[in-house]
Structure 1
Amino acid sequence: MPFLSYPRALELKNELRETNAEVITMENENYAEGISRFSSSCEKEAGAIVRVTSTDEVSKVVSFATKRHIPFVVQGGGFNTSGSSSTFGGIVINLSKMSQITVDPGAKTVFVQGGAIWEDVDKVSATFGLAIVGCTMNHTSVGGTALGGGYGWLTGRYGLIIDNLLSARLVLADGRIVTVSMTENPDLFWAVRGAGQGFGVTTEFVFKAYPQTDPVFGGLLYFTADRLSQIVHFANEFEERSTGIEGFLFGFTGSLLMQETVVFVVTFYNGSRSAAEKFFEPILSLKPVVNEIEMMPYPKMNTILNRAAEFGGRKSLGGSNIVLPLNVKSVEEVYRDFDTIMKTFPRVSESFVVFELLPYIELIKVPNEATAFANRGKYYNAASIFRWHDPELDPKMRSLQQDMMNKIGRRAGVARSEEMNQGVGVYANYAGHEANATELFGDNLPRLQTLKMQYDPDNVFKKWHDMFLHTSVH
């Protein structure tokens, strides 16, 4: 496939000369900023970065690239660690200037452009006393998280992000601009909800919004490792006690405060302090080393995990799943494995493993075949971000991470469950390229492939997860 040569770059600039799009090439001083990513291992020398300002400009770039067989990628926030928003020699369609947010308080809907970040969505919605299901890390882009499914603190009450998507606007592989919803192009709307990155550039979203005027109870706690078994015991009771307004995350990370790997907890309760303290009393009574819990506006809750979403360093994101109850000894073994990695390798202390208990009450009301998203079941996500700095450690760190997440899945996930009608157990937004299309989409894959042949027969949009690739990539 041809790269974008300098003469082609000039041709692209000429194509966009009467628009507001900015074409950045290697000689521009902001080029280095344009190719920077959440993980430095994903930074590639693009032929050009195009900062678009409208759907029409996106269409022009897509048409330009596809007609000349030039590879292109789409960058929202650049947080994917598999390199799907980077290209060597191709075109990066950067959506960061497309960040408009409009709230209709009467209809309780929020219009969001594809380059907006969740922080701005939260803040704008809150001025109208509303909130939408959004990402728990608000530095990330709306498009990148929403199209793959999307879990948030409000998932227990309102479902996934895609369950609250009313419509979207896409630029297809041939440059056509279409609107998708339950009534317009419903087949493509089905595909977008869970596999949207594989069908086009989504430039606009319309979401349902919900009243959220009261503060929420939440924050971060750090514990010493001897508290881990009690934290797991609380996690095992979470499912029975939860009503859908709570959230509970726990995991491990390196610490500058203590000699050993620290155990952390993040709590969420969408209600009064007294009710929240009663719910989390078994955790609060464990005497955390650090306690940052408070009543706060809902938008602030989505900042708690941002320290894990800072740019810089080499990173890999991995995912698995867990079914309750967890075996305490198995979790303690994962802790020891992680602690060994922290002590063995230099400058990896900002890595973490997390078990995400966000209630599935609403999520499983939607059948797996109702949307392309196939990860609905009575289980929870586990995730990890490994961070290091030495490029020579790339294969080792990815291998250690994959081994750890596979162990979690085998010992604690749906693989050991007898529950029928479970989802695939793999969250596409957490999965690297080692996960194949069958693992990600299960029984939904044949329908997705049929739609790909209709809307993207040349498989232009394959950087996220290739739906025509059946075998694992190692």
Structure 2
Amino acid sequence: MDTLTTGDTEKLADALRGELITPADPRYDRARQVWNGDIDRRPPLIARCADATDVAAAVTFAAGRGMPVAVRGGGHSVAGQGLCDDGVVVDLSPMRAVDVDPARRLAHVQGGALWQDVDPATQAHGLATTGGIVSETGVGGLTLGGGIGHLMRRCGLATDNLVEADLVTADGRLVTVDAERDPELLWGLRGGGGNFGTVVRFGLRLHEVDPTVLAGMLIYPLDDAPAVLARYRDLIADAPDALGTILNLRLCPAVAAIPERLHGTPVVAIIVCWSGDHEQGQAFLRPLREFGRPVLDTVAPMPYVVLQRMLDDTSRAGDHYYWRSVDFGPLTDEIIAIIVEHVARITSPLSAVPVYHLGGAIGRVPPEDTAFGSRHATHDINMFGHWVPDRDDRDRHVAWVRDFSEAMAPHAVGKYVNFLNDEGADGVREAYGRRWQRLVALKRRLDPENVFRYNFNIDPGTGDEQDEQDA
């Protein structure tokens, strides 16, 4: 990396319509904050970009000086990929515009937009696409890495709905890709993360989704979890695509949606989203709602945009987080026992264990049609360590996550890229599996110097000898 001079910095500042923030700026500490407070990095330059031209200027500046680029969209990566210590942060947060074309069922979304920007805009037309379950999640990171959400079993992953994109490549070019213009790059963007450039505009396919869905929570005591999870497993075996569910095992959070009498008690919750006919949904869910001894049942018609914000209070910006994740098959009795055992050992009142039900439309996409790696999994489990550093000890929370992950490892059938944390190059390669060689070839074409390396990195220098061993 070349040494930065005052003249260099001034040159980049003059080229931007947006702002260039340096460590001398009083706004610097705030500008370098991301969602995960466990991440503490000090980038020499933060370019708050106003448009695609700004992005091109920042990327060209960095590449010309041998500096890497970290792209910040929503800043919601648990691994802190929107920050670096040695390069230029391309901050897209000022670029949040959403333009909906209801006739084409297409949303044009700028690279810094959050799902809280997208959902109200699309729902105004009775449309939606699969978005994150926390409204402050960035569209870019979620979409490029896969994108699980309440609608995924009906509408596919967020990445499955990416039909076109504008991006700035490592050499500063602004290119548009779709099924006709560089379809191989579109393939790579659909699951390959931020490896190939900075996406400044996403074209997302929309689906008819009534603004009111049948949604809410069923909450049971954790002591009932083995029986409840077995009953749940039997129900979802024949679930239609309209049903999206997330299990969540944890100490009950102190949020407004849950009565105070339950706060802090060990529970298993089933978060429900039925996006089809409500009467059919009520009938399908009845056997589960009438089973056992639920301590809370809030399932009722509610606006989809309200559902999309329902979990926001459990994912506070600035708290500290450490994750691991495993994709697995059916919810066997053995897996249920592992989950319940480790939830009983939970080390923080804020930590959680969401288990996402996959399948449906996700599994009907041919595996080679996108770079996303786990089409055949039934579930993804996220061991979600969450704590406040002033009150808790990091090491024991991290140890709980890692122990849990090791216990689940024998049952793994894949990994979800967006839930990787510190697994390193081997973890990234494992997540992509047999798609790795194709992704490396694309990376070598688009970014041979690995300018975009603050991501779940696909190293263009991966040796051909190793590639042949994996073939």
TM-score (norm. length: structure 2): 0.89
Is the counterpart of residue 236 in structure 1 residue 241 in structure 2?
Answer: no
Rounded Cα–Cα distance in structure 1 between residues aligned with 2:5 and 2:37: 24
Q: Please state how far the C-alpha of 1:27 moved relative to its aligned partner.
A: 3.2
Find the partner of 2:283 among 275, 278, 286. 278
Instruction: Give runs of aligned pairs for residues 412-431 of structure 1, distance below 5 A.
Output: 413-414=412-413, 425-431=414-420
Q: In the alignment, what sits opposite 2:127? A: 130
Q: In the alignment, what sits opposite 1:419? A: none
Rounded Cα–Cα distance in structure 2 between residues aligned with 1:11 and 1:87: 21
Rounded Cα–Cα distance in structure 2 between residues aligned with 1:88 and 1:11: 21
What letter is aligned with 1:402?
R
Q: Say if 1:320 and 1:406, in contact at 8 Å, map to a contact too.
A: no
Rounded Cα–Cα distance in structure 1 between residues aligned with 2:3 and 2:385: 32
Q: For this pair of structures, how many residues does the alignment match?
A: 450
What letter is aligned with 2:182?
N
Q: Say if 2:218 and 2:269, in contact at 8 Å, map to a contact too.
A: yes
Q: Say if 1:180 and 1:186, in contact at 8 Å, map to a contact too.
A: yes
Q: Which runs of 5+ in 1 are unaligned?
A: 343-347, 415-424
Instruction: Give runs of aligned pairs for residues 256-295 of structure 1, distance below 5 A.
Output: 257=262, 260-285=265-290, 286-295=292-301
What letter is aligned with 2:274?
Y
Inter-CA distance 196–265: structure 2 relative to 1 (3 Å threshold): same
Find the partner of 1:306 among 297, 308, 312. 312
Is the counterpart of residue 388 in structure 1 residue 390 in structure 2?
Answer: no
- Deviation by residue 1:435-460 (Cα, 9 ceiling, x = unmatched): 52320111111111111111111111
- Deviation by residue 1:285-311 (Cα, 9 ceiling, x = unmatched): 344333333211222221122223210
Query: Does the residue aligned with 1:61 lie in a helix, a strand or coil?
Result: helix
Rounded Cα–Cα distance in structure 2 between residues aligned with 1:49 and 1:341: 37
- Deviation by residue 1:247-284 (Cα, 9 ceiling, x = unmatched): 12112222363564322221111134433232222332
Q: Say if 2:150 and 2:245, in contact at 8 Å, map to a contact too.
A: no
Query: Does the residue aligned with 2:279 lie in a helix, a strand or coil?
Result: helix
Q: Say if 1:3 and 1:47, in contact at 8 Å, map to a contact too.
A: no
Moved more, 145-154 or 86-95: 86-95
Q: Please state how far the C-alpha of 1:389 moved relative to its aligned partner.
A: 3.4
Inter-CA distance 303–34: structure 2 relative to 1 (3 Å threshold): same
Moved more, 4-13 or 120-129: 4-13
Q: In the alignment, what sits opposite 2:452? A: 461
Instruction: Give runs of aligned pairs for residues 346-425 of structure 1, distance below 5 A.
Output: 348-358=348-358, 360-390=359-389, 393-411=393-411, 413-414=412-413, 425=414
Inter-CA distance 179–259: structure 2 relative to 1 (3 Å threshold): closer
Rounded Cα–Cα distance in structure 2 between residues aligned with 1:366 and 1:440: 17
Q: Say if 1:4 and 1:89, in contact at 8 Å, map to a contact too.
A: no
Instruction: Give runs of aligned pairs for residues 320-339 of structure 1, distance below 5 A.
Output: 320-327=326-333, 330-339=335-344
Q: In the alignment, what sits opposite 1:190? A: 187
Inter-CA distance 463–167: structure 2 relative to 1 (3 Å threshold): same
Q: Say if 2:383 and 2:404, in contact at 8 Å, map to a contact too.
A: no
Rounded Cα–Cα distance in structure 2 between residues aligned with 1:372 and 1:102: 27
Rounded Cα–Cα distance in structure 1 between residues aligned with 2:332 and 2:4: 51
Rounded Cα–Cα distance in structure 1 between residues aligned with 2:131 and 2:321: 23
Rounded Cα–Cα distance in structure 2 between residues aligned with 1:137 and 1:389: 19
Inter-CA distance 134–3: structure 2 relative to 1 (3 Å threshold): farther
Is the counterpart of residue 46 in structure 1 residue 43 in structure 2?
Answer: yes
Find the partner of 1:25 among 15, 22, 25. 22
Q: Percent identity?
A: 28
Q: In the alignment, what sits opposite 1:205? A: 202
Is the counterpart of residue 315 in structure 1 residue 321 in structure 2?
Answer: yes
Q: In the alignment, what sits opposite 1:144? A: 141
Q: Please state how far the C-alpha of 1:89 moved relative to its aligned partner.
A: 4.5
Query: Does the residue aligned with 1:362 lie in a helix, a strand or coil?
Result: helix
Rounded Cα–Cα distance in structure 1 between residues aligned with 2:267 and 2:354: 12
Inter-CA distance 281–55: structure 2 relative to 1 (3 Å threshold): same
Q: Please state how far the C-alpha of 1:143 moved relative to its aligned partner.
A: 0.3
Q: Please state how far the C-alpha of 1:96 moved relative to its aligned partner.
A: 1.1
Inter-CA distance 3–367: structure 2 relative to 1 (3 Å threshold): farther
Q: Say if 1:9 and 1:47, in contact at 8 Å, map to a contact too.
A: no
Is the counterpart of residue 117 in structure 1 residue 114 in structure 2?
Answer: yes
Q: Say if 1:39 and 1:315, in contact at 8 Å, map to a contact too.
A: yes
- Deviation by residue 1:53-95 (Cα, 9 ceiling, x = unmatched): 1111100000001101123211111111212111124321111
Q: Say if 2:70 and 2:453, in contact at 8 Å, map to a contact too.
A: no
Moved more, 267-276 or 198-207: 267-276
What letter is aligned with 2:445?
Q
Rounded Cα–Cα distance in structure 2 between residues aligned with 1:281 and 1:132: 27
Q: Please state how far the C-alpha of 1:318 moved relative to its aligned partner.
A: 1.9
Q: Say if 1:133 and 1:151, in contact at 8 Å, map to a contact too.
A: yes
Rounded Cα–Cα distance in structure 2 between residues aligned with 1:264 and 1:4: 52
Query: Does the residue aligned with 2:360 lie in a helix, a strand or coil?
Result: coil
- Deviation by residue 1:102-142 (Cα, 9 ceiling, x = unmatched): 11111111111111111111100111121112222221010
Q: Which runs of 5+ in 2 are unaligned?
A: 255-261, 467-471
Q: Please state how far the C-alpha of 1:312 moved relative to its aligned partner.
A: 1.9
- Deviation by residue 1:199-254 (Cα, 9 ceiling, x = unmatched): 11011011111122351111123321122122211232134321100012112222
Find the partner of 1:251 among 240, 248, 251. 248
Query: Does the residue aligned with 2:401 lie in a helix, a strand or coil?
Result: helix
What letter is aligned with 1:341?
I
Q: Say if 1:167 and 1:180, in contact at 8 Å, map to a contact too.
A: yes
Rounded Cα–Cα distance in structure 1 between residues aligned with 2:303 and 2:166: 31
